Amino acid sequence: MQPLLDISRLLSSAGRASLSGLDRVELAYVRHCATLPPRDRCFVALSPYGHFSLLPDALAMALLEAWLGVTRGEAVRARLRGISLAARAWLLSGLGHPALLRRIARMPRAALLLTAHQSMSEAAPIAALKRRGARFVPIIHDLIPLTHPEYARPRQTRAHARRLAVASALADAVLVVSGATRV
């Protein structure tokens, strides 16, 4: 598998002072993918236009380094916000989407790996990459909004049901974090 790792969550979390549990999971996957040769990895994010776009490798590596250093002080957090803004500007440019499609054409074992649930809210961006030959592999972290809706906001229950429906309809494989999630 050649991962197309979605790092949308780490980009959207840049204004926070610390990492959430899901952020740490995504960061661990970024750290692992960073050990792969650049030709065998690809970092992507959802663009404001509603499709996945390739992020320049150097930008993703700078984001990784900034998150790893986030506990060292405000200057690191300011750098993190700057990198996130640069990534958003890149996504707004529209250059990343055609670059991603060209990259997928050269990666016969490409798989969109979603470590956070937020990028599963809509089927269309995922389906578009599947039509280009990419596989889709999401990670399901929990089912609590569905199995115990009293612990979730009503909006989250509906959103999670929609995300799981997208995963069920489009996933080539699903990674789960526990036996309780493997239903």
Q: What is the pLDDT of residues 12-69, one digit of tens each?
A: 988 776 788 888 899 999 999 999 999 889 999 999 999 999 999 999 999 998 888 8
Strands 52-55 and 42-46: antiparallel
Taking only the tens place, the pLDDT of each residue in 83-102 is 999 999 999 999 999 999 99
Residue with tokens 């707004």: 92
| Spatial contact of 143 and 121, defined as CB atoms under 8 Å apart | no
- Rounded to whole angstroms, the Cα distance separating 112 from 136 reads 5
Mean pLDDT of the chain: 90
